[in-house]
Structure 1
Amino acid sequence: MKIIGLTGGTGSGKGFVSTILKEKGAYIIDADGVAHEIIKKGKPAYTELVAYFGVDILDDSGEIFRKKLGGIVFGDSEKLAFLNQCTHAYIVKEIKEQIANATTENTAKCIIIDAPLLVEAGLDSICDGIWVVFAEEDVRVERIMKRDSISLDMAKARIANQKTWEEYASFATEIIPNMGNVESVMEQIEGLLQKFK
């Protein structure tokens, strides 16, 4: 079964593309969902993160407060590097287990790894293709502001904190433009699924 990496910058509409792929019979592995699970209380990544960042990152129930942790690492490259190094290993392990399960079940058209940090986590090495979702920056800014109820400057800062479009394009085997035309996106996805059978 083919394994496709799906990625793209914040606000590109990757989640929308992922939803369509699921409707078309693809098995979706949501790397963000996996990332949320592996930092829960009692999991190994939780222990490592609390040991490094301290109990200040915990909420009242003792779980990691992701927004607070995000605020700490956002402007500190050393702390961000530790967070990524710690979590990526556990994320990759869990994703590989999900791939094994999907392959055993063998009911899906293909396996999609929906991951914003696909290349950073080294997941590109297990993919048969990498599909990058593209949208112009002004469209992305508008979507982020609406989705997260944040200011124009904050939305632009989030985009600036990620890879440039040129970097995304450099490792893409396929590019899916997503400027808001639903029919066009669905047609592209249909064509790509046929191509990657």
Structure 2
Amino acid sequence: MITVAVTGNAASGKSLVCDIFERLGAYVISLDELAREVVKPHTEVFKKIVEHFGEEILTPEGDLNRRRLRQIITTDPEARKTLERFTHPAIFDLMDKEIASIRTARGDRIIVIEVPLLIERGLQDRFDVVILVDVESEIQKRRLSIRDNVSDSEAQALLAIQMPTEKKRKYADFIIKNNGSMKELEIVSKEIYKKIAERS
């Protein structure tokens, strides 16, 4: 079994690459999805977040107001560190359990994990293969604005707090440039997946 980490900054196309790999037969784990699990209402992580940031970060329905929380952490580095301290241990614990479960049930499968903060957290050595999805900054900002329905300035603020892609390249086994069409992304992703599959 091979574990593959797909990383990259916001709106680079990580999820698209993972979707392609899943269609090719990989088992895909998204840390964004696991993050949504650990902050569901009444979980311990949820309680810690509300206790620290206050009930103003909740929606009228009692869920986390993700947009409000994101506004806070993009302007306050200490708030971001606090949020990560609350959420990351629970997220990575879920990830490890899911990997162990798949390893037991289907040890022959390639497991692909979408890990946005892989390099920032120093987790690259936990995986057999690291793939970095890269995109030109202007394309990235435009995609982020459209995807999250935020202004250009909000998109820029979020991108500004992320580690520059240039610093991540040395940790990657493969780099996917995602500046073109979906078809181009599929072609490159399939070529890389074939190389990874040949190792297993």
User: Normalization by structure 1: what TM-score?
Assistant: 0.90
* 1:45–1:156 distance in 2 versus 1, CA, 3 Å: same
Q: Secondary structure at the match of 2:82?
A: helix
1:193 offset after TM fit, Å? 2.7
For 2:25 and 2:108, how far apart are their aligned partners in 1?
6
1:122 offset after TM fit, Å? 4.7
For 2:38 and 2:148, how far apart are their aligned partners in 1?
24
Question: Would the aligned equivalents of 1:102 and 1:108 in 2 still touch at CA under 8 Å?
Answer: no
Tell me the equivalent position of 1:139: 139
Moved over 6 A (4+): none
Question: Would the aligned equivalents of 2:6 and 2:130 in 1 still touch at CA under 8 Å?
Answer: yes
* 1:52–1:113 distance in 2 versus 1, CA, 3 Å: same
Question: Would the aligned equivalents of 1:25 and 1:108 in 2 still touch at CA under 8 Å?
Answer: no
Deviates more, 1:177-186 or 1:110-119: 177-186
Deviates more, 1:186-195 or 1:73-82: 186-195
Question: Would the aligned equivalents of 1:17 and 1:185 in 2 still touch at CA under 8 Å?
Answer: no
Identical aligned residues as a percent = 31
Q: Within the alignment, does 1:34 sit opposite 2:37 as a pair?
A: no
For 1:3 and 1:160, how far apart are their aligned partners in 2?
29
Q: Within the alignment, does 1:59 sit opposite 2:65 as a pair?
A: no
* 1:175–1:36 distance in 2 versus 1, CA, 3 Å: same
For 2:159 and 2:177, how far apart are their aligned partners in 1?
17
For the aligned residue pairs, the C-alpha RMSD in angstroms reads 1.9
Q: Which runs of 5+ in 2 are unaligned?
A: none
Deviates more, 1:89-98 or 1:183-192: 183-192
For 1:103 and 1:20, how far apart are their aligned partners in 2?
21
1:134 offset after TM fit, Å? 1.3
Tell me the equivalent position of 1:80: 80
For 2:13 and 2:179, how far apart are their aligned partners in 1?
9
1:150 offset after TM fit, Å? 3.4
1:121 offset after TM fit, Å? 4.1
Q: Within the alignment, does 1:191 sit opposite 2:187 as a pair?
A: no
1:21 offset after TM fit, Å? 0.5
For 1:150 and 1:54, how far apart are their aligned partners in 2?
23
Tell me the equivalent position of 2:129: 129
For 2:144 and 2:101, how far apart are their aligned partners in 1?
34
Question: Would the aligned equivalents of 1:7 and 1:132 in 2 still touch at CA under 8 Å?
Answer: yes
Q: Secondary structure at the match of 2:119?
A: coil
Tell me the equivalent position of 1:47: 47
List aligned pairs for 1:165-176, cutoff 5 A.
165-176=165-176
Q: Which amino acid aligns with 2:160?
A: A
Q: Which amino acid aligns with 1:169?
A: R
Give the number of equivalent residue pairs. 197
